[in-house]
Structure 1
Amino acid sequence: MKEFKFNDNQLSIINELEVDIDINKLNIAFGSESIDNFDNDEQFLILKVANACYRSGFPVVKDSIYDTFIQIFTTNNPNHPFITSVESEVINLGKTVTLPQKMLSTDKAYSKKEINKWLDRIIKAANELDLDSKEIEIRVTPKLDGYAAFDDGEKLYTRGDGVKGQDISRAFERGLKVAGNGQRGLGAGEIVIDKAYFEENLSQYFENSRNIQAAIIAEKNVDEKVLEAIKDGACVFYPFSQIINWTGNYQDLMADFDNKIDEVWNAVGYDVDGVVLEATDSRIKNHMGATRKFHRWQIAFKVNDESAEVEVISVTPQTSRMGRVTPVAELVPTRISGATISRVTVHHYKMVKNNGVGPGAILQIVRSGLVIPKIENVIKAVEPQIPELCPSCHSHLIWESDNLVCPNKNDCPAQTENTLVHFFKTLGNNDGFGPKNIEKLSNLGIKHIHQLYALKAHQFISYGFGDKTSKNLFDQLQVSQEVEIEDWRFLSAFGVSRLGGGNCEKLLQHYPLVALFELSAEDIAKIDGFAQISAEAIVEGLANIREEFFKVYDLGFNLGITPKLSEKDDSSSPIAGATVVFTGTMLQGKRGDMEKHAKSLGAKVAKSVTGKTTYLIAGEKVGETKVNSARDKGVTVLSEQEYLNLID
């Protein structure tokens, strides 16, 4: 039996459930991956804990082990409500409402033999309906591993218990889009996040993508990084009806089963934990019907994990474009699930340090046949390998939570391209310097922000851009210097670790922009909201960008100065101390300008409405749902003109 220990998040979930079972028994169950030695009541509570942790984003066992637990419990308790009903969500998001239509779970199969048995039932139903079984079509789609929801065009609901869910329309109000820029109202689907985006931008802050999915629909205190991911289109609601699929005759499917399943499994850039097979003929669907938990005409095919014990040869650090240094374990080549595995990514260097991953360590590696391998357990720990210097630029590495990070944003080859992209994206005042153009310029030797601003129109032509594009790019650079931007946004654009927009604004409420580079960690730690470790990382990060910052700053950007705290305490302002949210299209000014002005009057500007919101300022094209939702929370809703009258 492997040792199992709950993390703080899992313990918090268990405490909220208030289950009457000894924590040591849970440790034994999840460590041994067996519930055979527990009585019926204990088995139920173990399942309840496993389900709650999984749906909150902190799973305690693999899907296949959980399914085994379910099978054992079902054998002795076939009519137990936990077995006969949809496993409910556990996150409390507000008042429960009836779903427009039922959302059931999906039955599971782990072998081709089980799929054949399911097809036999489909064929039997066709025969009972006097349908030609040779014309039976099966639709195969990726089984998205996201957060199940239902969109009726007006509201977005959680799946809940399959009959009643909770209203999470606020996710769309925050900017969540339908996948592929699709229309609202397409029914059941999943809230998912792009895997590549998560790995590149969020994996150092969140344990897994399910944490993000839960954060997207949270009632309040939504993480800024999650809001940014929504804005970037990385988080979407993906309706099942629109998902990529293979549809064809069931005999064609079974004749080339492995290849077709593999093709569909890897068809989307989101987390997938299987594929879903379903009969397409509505007559067969109506005839077969459903249990209280599953549709009989539908089944999910999943793959049991295969594992092996593998020896580590070395641990290689690799710096990502975001500056995070990722440990990669080089392994003695080992055959697992039909593939030879010679390397595996260790999640972060805290894991390397705490679990003793280094040359000679023995790891249990798991591969599900169709996905990348992962470390399941450290069988034998050794002295870990922890680098001190960035492998790309040899800068001194710093710890950020569980990760080692290179703070050298401007001279680290692994990061320079991302630094340029981040700068222009954060400024947000020109359209010419997106990732594709930056990549082209970076490949041709442009590595620094000040180098870009030194380019003339004819030099862009020499880099392979057309005449018109070259002039446009040159003009865009001039515009980005001339249009006023906030000084906190300008500083944030340099991508210093721990210096997002909010922290930049906090610092600039106390010190002028150029003075920040003379501050000590102790100076920063005295400011409310900054811990000593964060302060030390900020000081080191500012030192790393200092030379590049002043080369760019001296070009003469038009910077709006952040008001000092003493200047903002204007008690005469009618919105001083109020929390305001702007929504819709404003007629008498840009929304960003109005938000900036509201801050200067002492208001706190938020992006979404909560019970703590004072005013919702509604411009044009605002849905009644959002307005009514705000009023239900006791928020005062003002039109644009009413707001302007108020502050006048």
Structure 2
Amino acid sequence: MEDLFSNDKMRSEVKARIETLRRQLHEHNYNYYVLSQPTISDFEFDALMRQLAELEKQYPEFYDPNSPTMRVGSDINKNFVQVQHRYPMLSLQNTYTEGEISDFFNRVKRSLNEEFEIVCELKFDGTSISLIYENGRLLRAITRGDGKQGDDVTANVRTIRNIPLVLKGDKIPAYVEVRGEILMPWSVFEELNREREAQEEPLFANPRNAASGTLKMQDPKAVASRRLESYIYYLMGEELPSGSHFENMEIARGWGLHVSPTMKKCRSLEEVLQFLSFWEVERKNLPVATDGVVLKVDSLSQQRNLGSTSKFPRWAIAYKFNAEKALTRLESVTYQVGRTGAVTPVANLEPVLLSGTTVKRASLYNEDAIRTLDLHIGDMVYVEKGGEIIPKITGVDKASRAPGGERVEFATNCPDCGTPLLRNEDEAVHYCPNSENCPPQIKGRIEHFVTRKAMNITIGPETIGLLYDKGLIRDAADLYELRFEDLVRLDRWAETSARNLLASIEKSKKVPYERVLFALGIRFVGETVAQKLASAFHYIDLLAAATVEQLTSVEEIGERIAQSVSDFFRNPRSVEFVERLKAHGLQFRLSEDALATRSDRLAGLTVVISGTFELHSRDEYKAMILQHGGKNSGSVSKNTDFILAGENMGPAKLEKAEKLGVKIIDEKTFLTMIGKES
């Protein structure tokens, strides 16, 4: 009886553990594929998955068809049309050791019992894509999704320059699916993060997240600006040009597809291991991120003979490079204050070489991150680069902790002006509320004001700091009151430098209204939001008088942004600042050319856009709706006046439109409505 009770107790604990693992893995899948914000490494994820698979194998009575082990993770975004894959997009089984690669090689050898070759290719760290070509023309681009269906992102993929819209050359099948990865090059990623950091927006952790997020944007023009690239790694279809995967890739390169030149065909396990060893180091010199090597049996007939499990092909496997870590000492923690008052803790480290660069500092993000790590000054800490670019502390070697080390506690006062810090309940960030008198906030706002996408004044942070310290400027409006005689008195300032700065300041008076609005530095008002606000409220006094309700009626302006804009114009200091800029001649209304295109043809009408278009982009149609007095909406409701529909209109929107009797028009009809030639 006691054994029976013990048995039941153990089974109950096993069941609880299985349910916990499933819950955790579902959450991690969502973070990875939908949010593009993974919270654990691939190695940790695979370890949890293996643990769950082993428990499910030992205890089949706890089978669940919705277990994470039964499916491929999903990146489906309901803002896009979902399309079924003709050929499932399976994921690859991950390995981390040469021993596991040896096991794979020998398993293939036993199963085939004949000569075979292995194609080794770098595993590019991007987001998977399936490109469908019919008669040599790009028909559709679909994300991996859940492996059975994915998002139709054709409009965005057409903006990627190294994806041919029409294949060239010979041996092109009537139908072929091209599988590959969409990536963001390191140089673009670093530039994007510098811009986001300047706007105090959350940084992308790595290029894969950035590429994934970009591909899911609703604006193809914005996608094009991110300069994504593709790397092709497989062809699928009934009439492929060759029975060799390697030869198919060579032929695909001739069609104009971007195939990596690093592929190698190997005849032995030794050659495979040499390839892994070489690229473990050399990959760091590549212009794009890689996280491993993929091994594939070359012969397509041998691939078919080996087959697949429900989740992985038996003829391919992925070897993942281990993230490079270093152990170094935490010397101190300091705090940086941004232009919005956000306070960021920074770990100052004993210099250590990591991924080819010397790391001296690492971001600690916020108070919660510090508490989770349980940091003490003098701790030996593990540092790695997220996506091999952003240094971060991932752990503490507590066994080596010396007694008496001071525990790291988050600052309670601003490190620059001494004001007690505040933290909103729904945010992880602390803020210094002394926005009017805190020096780094004032300098930061001026630095933002002069940036290229704002007023484009040729002055750097050091010069701004000098002018501030000399008492010549206290806000951005003071730039327009600078005098030549004041500037030439400054150390190391020549007459030419003074004249160039003053000329740049004068030229900025012609910068259009939407960029001036962005330059004001209103919290949460980035470049795109400023454009939308300028279109909806075509001069500054209208915007200043707008209520929160009126602001939220503008597409993509939520409660948080609306409240921030309203608060800005209710602050007497902000109003005075804007009035001073007005007096200096800055542009605070849309230009005559922009206004000339405006009308009230769509006044009072709510329009929903769905599908893909031939004559203009979705973003251009949204701008036209605003120009002619209409309102954009993302969802169909009883308040929708009509739907502007292109190809592949969302089935959910179509069904709801039919149910509510909402009128659907095509783009030529719409262009006629607003008096524009199609």
TM-score under structure 1 length normalisation: 0.62
Letter in 2 for 1:66: F
Give the corresponding residue for 2:451.
420
Give the corresponding residue for 1:534.
564
Letter in 1 for 2:630: A
Residue 51 of structure 2 corresponds to residue 66 of structure 1? no
TM alignment of 1:193-342, pairs within 5 A:
195-196=189-190, 197-198=192-193, 200-201=195-196, 204-205=201-202, 230=223, 232-233=225-226, 239-240=232-233, 242=258, 244=260, 246-250=262-266, 251=270, 254-255=273-274, 257-264=276-283, 267-269=286-288, 272-282=290-300, 284-304=302-322, 312-317=330-335, 326-332=344-350, 342=360
- 2:668 and 2:143 map into 1 onto residues whose CA distance is 32
Residue 159 of structure 2 corresponds to residue 140 of structure 1? no
* Superposition deviation, residue 88 in structure 1: 3.7
Give the corresponding residue for 1:151.
131
- 1:512 and 1:444 map into 2 onto residues whose CA distance is 34
CA offsets 1:75-129 (integer angstroms, 9 cap, x no match): 3545866587542427573886530212111111111222233344566678714
- The question of whether the paired residues in 2 share the 8 Å contact of 1:345 and 1:374 is answered with yes
Give the corresponding residue for 2:244.
none
- The question of whether the paired residues in 1 share the 8 Å contact of 2:443 and 2:464 is answered with no
In structure 2, relative to structure 1, the CA distance for the partners of 1:593 and 1:490 (3 Å cut) is: farther
- The question of whether the paired residues in 2 share the 8 Å contact of 1:276 and 1:298 is answered with yes
In structure 2, relative to structure 1, the CA distance for the partners of 1:267 and 1:597 (3 Å cut) is: closer
Give the corresponding residue for 1:636.
664
In structure 2, relative to structure 1, the CA distance for the partners of 1:256 and 1:91 (3 Å cut) is: closer
- The question of whether the paired residues in 1 share the 8 Å contact of 2:330 and 2:380 is answered with yes
Give the corresponding residue for 1:466.
none
SS in 2 for 1:183: coil
CA offsets 1:343-383 (integer angstroms, 9 cap, x no match): 3222x244467669876274753548994653335779432
Letter in 2 for 1:246: T
Give the counterpart of 1:182 among 159, 163, 182: 163
SS in 1 for 2:604: coil
- 2:386 and 2:534 map into 1 onto residues whose CA distance is 50
Give the counterpart of 1:492 among 511, 518, 521: 518
- 2:656 and 2:536 map into 1 onto residues whose CA distance is 31
- 2:566 and 2:93 map into 1 onto residues whose CA distance is 52
CA offsets 1:308-329 (integer angstroms, 9 cap, x no match): 8865321234578999765320
Letter in 2 for 1:247: M
- 1:389 and 1:508 map into 2 onto residues whose CA distance is 40
CA offsets 1:411-438 (integer angstroms, 9 cap, x no match): 73897488422126xxxxxxxx8xxxx8
Give the counterpart of 2:540 among 513, 521, 531: 513
CA offsets 1:532-591 (integer angstroms, 9 cap, x no match): 9836974699958976995587346483289xxxxx9x9x9655131254985769xx99
In structure 2, relative to structure 1, the CA distance for the partners of 1:213 and 1:350 (3 Å cut) is: farther
Give the corresponding residue for 1:12.
none
- 1:556 and 1:368 map into 2 onto residues whose CA distance is 43
In structure 2, relative to structure 1, the CA distance for the partners of 1:186 and 1:42 (3 Å cut) is: same
Give the counterpart of 2:605 among 560, 564, 577: 577
- The question of whether the paired residues in 2 share the 8 Å contact of 1:140 and 1:275 is answered with yes
- The question of whether the paired residues in 2 share the 8 Å contact of 1:138 and 1:248 is answered with yes
Give the corresponding residue for 1:15.
none
Give the corresponding residue for 1:360.
377
CA offsets 1:230-272 (integer angstroms, 9 cap, x no match): 35226677654536452225455533633413333663445x5
In structure 2, relative to structure 1, the CA distance for the partners of 1:265 and 1:538 (3 Å cut) is: farther
Give the counterpart of 1:105 among 91, 102, 105: 91
In structure 2, relative to structure 1, the CA distance for the partners of 1:273 and 1:402 (3 Å cut) is: farther
Give the counterpart of 2:103 among 117, 122, 128: 117
SS in 2 for 1:105: coil
- 1:511 and 1:397 map into 2 onto residues whose CA distance is 37
SS in 2 for 1:65: helix
Letter in 2 for 1:637: I
SS in 2 for 1:560: coil
SS in 2 for 1:420: coil
In structure 2, relative to structure 1, the CA distance for the partners of 1:591 and 1:364 (3 Å cut) is: closer
Give the corresponding residue for 1:5.
none
In structure 2, relative to structure 1, the CA distance for the partners of 1:629 and 1:235 (3 Å cut) is: farther
Letter in 2 for 1:295: P
TM alignment of 1:569-608, pairs within 5 A:
575-579=603-607, 581=609, 598-599=625-626, 601-605=628-632
Give the counterpart of 1:55 among 26, 30, 33: 33
- The question of whether the paired residues in 1 share the 8 Å contact of 2:601 and 2:674 is answered with no
SS in 2 for 1:423: coil
CA offsets 1:445-484 (integer angstroms, 9 cap, x no match): 7998978x999xxxxxx99xxxxxx9xxx99x98x9779x
- 1:159 and 1:96 map into 2 onto residues whose CA distance is 11
- The question of whether the paired residues in 2 share the 8 Å contact of 1:350 and 1:402 is answered with yes
- 2:366 and 2:570 map into 1 onto residues whose CA distance is 20
TM alignment of 1:6-85, pairs within 5 A:
43-57=21-35, 59=38, 61-78=40-57, 82=67, 85=70
Q: Gapped runs of 5+ residues in structure 1?
A: 1-34, 425-432, 456-461, 464-469, 563-567
Letter in 1 for 2:74: E
Letter in 2 for 1:257: L
Please identify the structure whose Cα radius of gyration is greater: 2
Give the corresponding residue for 1:388.
414
- The question of whether the paired residues in 2 share the 8 Å contact of 1:321 and 1:418 is answered with no
Give the corresponding residue for 2:4.
none
Give the corresponding residue for 2:172.
none
- 2:606 and 2:383 map into 1 onto residues whose CA distance is 52
- 1:493 and 1:102 map into 2 onto residues whose CA distance is 48
- The question of whether the paired residues in 1 share the 8 Å contact of 2:193 and 2:204 is answered with no
- 2:642 and 2:123 map into 1 onto residues whose CA distance is 44
Q: Gapped runs of 5+ residues in structure 2?
A: 1-12, 133-137, 166-175, 235-257, 399-405, 466-475, 485-495, 553-558, 593-597, 658-662
* Superposition deviation, residue 299 in structure 1: 1.8
- The question of whether the paired residues in 1 share the 8 Å contact of 2:112 and 2:306 is answered with no
Give the corresponding residue for 2:135.
none
Letter in 1 for 2:124: P
- The question of whether the paired residues in 2 share the 8 Å contact of 1:191 and 1:237 is answered with yes
Letter in 2 for 1:262: V
- 1:119 and 1:323 map into 2 onto residues whose CA distance is 56
SS in 2 for 1:276: strand
- 1:508 and 1:281 map into 2 onto residues whose CA distance is 58
- 2:101 and 2:448 map into 1 onto residues whose CA distance is 48
In structure 2, relative to structure 1, the CA distance for the partners of 1:508 and 1:382 (3 Å cut) is: same
In structure 2, relative to structure 1, the CA distance for the partners of 1:445 and 1:269 (3 Å cut) is: farther
CA offsets 1:276-298 (integer angstroms, 9 cap, x no match): 33344545534444333222332
In structure 2, relative to structure 1, the CA distance for the partners of 1:329 and 1:550 (3 Å cut) is: same
SS in 2 for 1:151: strand
